[in-house]
């Protein structure tokens, strides 16, 4: 068994790790963070994907990530035939599914080549790229591990629904929970398109040969659900919860999202009072129902709330037409109170800033985990996939957020008055202050998980020891 020293590495190793990400940025970025973490143990890491998507994840990566030691394999995968800018909402993920289908051949060629250069090949793949690594079992010195880009709690909810359970009884071992009442699991109706559901089902048939699961989570917040998930599935699968992955970059190199000097958002935040600013972002893609109308209501609601805000405004519309979506004169009226950002924003640094007191979020797992670790309460606005489960986790389990749009109303437009009321509830009430206090206390615990001797650091050490056994 190799001796693990994450500061000095494990010395000479005969193991090579191959990472196969799902090309959606919210997934691939997590695996890039994991690649950097594993390489810090002096283990060669190869990151294999399409040339286009690999270039995207590198360009969007935090400056704190030192991926100079990562071996990137940029496969020239043919582009999806349909113009990505004209793909309807229900077909949004088709280009990513296409890329995964094209990965199988170049990945197996890479694995065969690397298998002659090391005693062991460890393949870590996104659960959504299981079909691309199906040939691992044919290589004698290779084994595969599934990376879960969503929380164990969300998977626990999906499994419970499949077993016919509409309500979730929170295990009493979860000390962070202060409720004895079962909570209703959000329905998956309308959550996945037919194409997405079929793709996920196709991937599941290739997961059975996996040697274990890795989670970008933290046992301090969802360890109970991870343990119960293992019991429900009855497969004795080895599991490691090694996150929050973004925290390793922070503890070792600083956050470092800004590219050229101090970002304009951070300069503006420097001038604001502590906990006074609401940060708003719906991730890298917006596909909310009644898109233009809902964005107008959101803008009006923010203006009515009189709350300071930074809004990362991305739209499916052409860039030159973005101004037309917002109410006329909106940006002029909120000048000094709010900031609308139309390009990339340093989310980690914004959430870590003392002036940020709330996060209006779609509740993607990256954003959810970042809000937890930086101690920022959430106004939850789930849109699709695992986001309704993440919103439930924040509002009903961790008790560090409020609903601004409940999943049951997913097909309705939230009015500006409702938005204003929810924002004030989070940012300007005694209840909001209590949520902030709870979020900060939980965030401090989660941040310590990746320190030396922390629960997530020990999980990572355990995984490294396992694959170098």
Residue pLDDT, tens place only, 245-258 = 999 876 444 555 44
Mean pLDDT of 338-359: 92
In the prediction, which pLDDT does 9 show? 42
Terminal-residue alpha carbon distance, the chain:
4
Task: Answer whether residue 181 shows pLDDT above 90.
Answer: no
Output helix, strand, coil percentages for the chain, rounded to the nearest 5: 45, 15, 40
Residue 14, both tokens: 């005969």
Distance CA 326, CA 331 (A): 8
Q: Does the annotation mark 27 as catalytic?
A: yes
> Of 27, 71, 73, 228, which one is the catalytic site residue?
27
Owner of token pair 């970008």:
216
Angle, helices 25-39/245-253, rounded to nearest 10 degrees: 50
Which 3 state secondary structure label does DSSP give 403?
strand
In the prediction, which pLDDT does 253 show? 47
Look up the pTM and report it: 0.89
At 49, which helix (H) or strand (E)?
A: strand 45-50
Q: What is the β-pairing status of strands 378-380 and 401-403?
A: parallel
Q: Does the annotation mark 98 as catalytic?
A: no
Mean pLDDT of 4-10: 42
CATH of domain 262-447: 3.40.50.2000
Sorting pLDDT into bands at 50, 70 and 90, what band is 172? Answer: low
Tell me which of 24-33, 214-223, 401-410, 446-455 is least confident: 401-410
Task: Answer whether residue 277 shows pLDDT above 80.
Answer: yes
* Per-residue CA distances from 22 to 156, 210, 365 (Å): 21, 17, 15
> Of 53, 71, 126, 362, which one is the catalytic site residue?
126
Which 3 state secondary structure label does DSSP give 105?
helix
Tell me which of 5-9, 115-119, 407-411 is least confident: 5-9
Phi first, then psi: give them for residue 356, nearest 5 degrees.
Answer: -80, 120
User: What are the b/e assignments for 33-72, b being 16+ CB within 10 Å?
Assistant: bbbbbbbbbbbbbbbbbbeebbebbbeebbebbebeebbb
Helices (H) and strands (E) in the chain, counts: 17, 15
Q: Which of 72, 49, 59, 456 is nearest to 245 (CA)?
A: 456
How is residue 335 annotated by DSSP? B
In which residue ranges of the chain is CATH 3.40.50.2000 found? Answer: 15-243+450-467, 262-447
Which 3 state secondary structure label does DSSP give 288?
coil
Architecture of the domain delimited by 15-243+450-467: 3-Layer(aba) Sandwich (3.40)
């Amino acid at each position: 068994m190799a001796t693990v020293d994450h500061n000095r590495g494990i010395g000479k190793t005969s193991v090579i790790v191959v990472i196969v990400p799902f090309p959606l940025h919210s997934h691939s970025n997590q695996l890039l963070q994991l690649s950097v973490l594993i390489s810090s143990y002096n283990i060669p890491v190869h990151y294999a994907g399409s040339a286009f998507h690999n270039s995207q994840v590198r360009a969007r990566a935090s400056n704190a990530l030192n991926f100079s030691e990562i071996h990137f394999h940029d496969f020239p995968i043919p582009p999806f035939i349909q113009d990505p800018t004209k793909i309807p909402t229900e077909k949004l993920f088709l280009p990513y599914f296409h890329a995964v289908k094209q990965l199988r051949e170049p990945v197996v060629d890479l694995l065969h080549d690397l298998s002659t250069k090391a005693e062991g090949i460890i393949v870590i793949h996104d659960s959504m790229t299981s079909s691309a690594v199906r040939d691992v079992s044919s290589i004698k010195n290779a084994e595969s591990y599934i990376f879960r880009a969503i929380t164990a709690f969300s998977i626990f909810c999906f499994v419970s629904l499949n077993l016919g359970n509409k309500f979730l009884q929170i295990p009493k071992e979860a000390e962070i929970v202060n409720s004895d009442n079962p909570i209703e699991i959000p329905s998956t109706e309308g959550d996945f398109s037919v194409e997405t559901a079929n793709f996920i089902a196709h991937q599941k048939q290739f997961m059975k040969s996996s040697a274990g699961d890795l989670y970008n989570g933290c046992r301090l917040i969802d360890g109970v659900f991870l343990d119960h998930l293992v019991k429900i599935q009855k497969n004795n699968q080895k599991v490691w919860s090694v996150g929050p992955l973004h925290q390793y970059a922070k503890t070792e190199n600083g956050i470092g999202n800004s590219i050229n000097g101090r970002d304009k958002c951070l300069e503006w935040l420097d001038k604001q009072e502590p906990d006074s600013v609401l940060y708003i972002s719906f991730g890298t893609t917006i596909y909310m129902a009644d898109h233009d109308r809902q964005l107008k209501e959101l803008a009006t609601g923010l203006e009515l709330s009189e709350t300071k805000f930074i809004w990362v405004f991305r739209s499916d519309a052409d860039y030159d037409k973005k101004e037309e979506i917002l109410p006329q004169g909106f940006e002029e009226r909120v000048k000094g109170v709010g900031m609308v950002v139309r390009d990339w924003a340093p989310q980690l640094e914004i959430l870590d800033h003392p002036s940020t007191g709330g996060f209006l979020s779609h509740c993607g797992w990256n954003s959810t985990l970042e809000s937890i670790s930086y101690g920022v309460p959430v106004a939850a606005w789930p849109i699709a996939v695992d986001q309704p489960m993440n919103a439930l986790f924040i509002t009903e389990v961790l008790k560090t957020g409020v609903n601004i749009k409940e999943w049951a109303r997913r097909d309705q437009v939230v009015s500006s008055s409702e938005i204003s009321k929810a924002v004030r509830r989070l940012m300007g009430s005694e209840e909001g202050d209590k949520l902030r206090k709870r979020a900060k206390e939980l965030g401090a615990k989660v941040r310590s998980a990746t320190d030396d001797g922390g629960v997530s650091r020990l999980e990572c050490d355990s995984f490294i020891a396992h694959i170098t056994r």
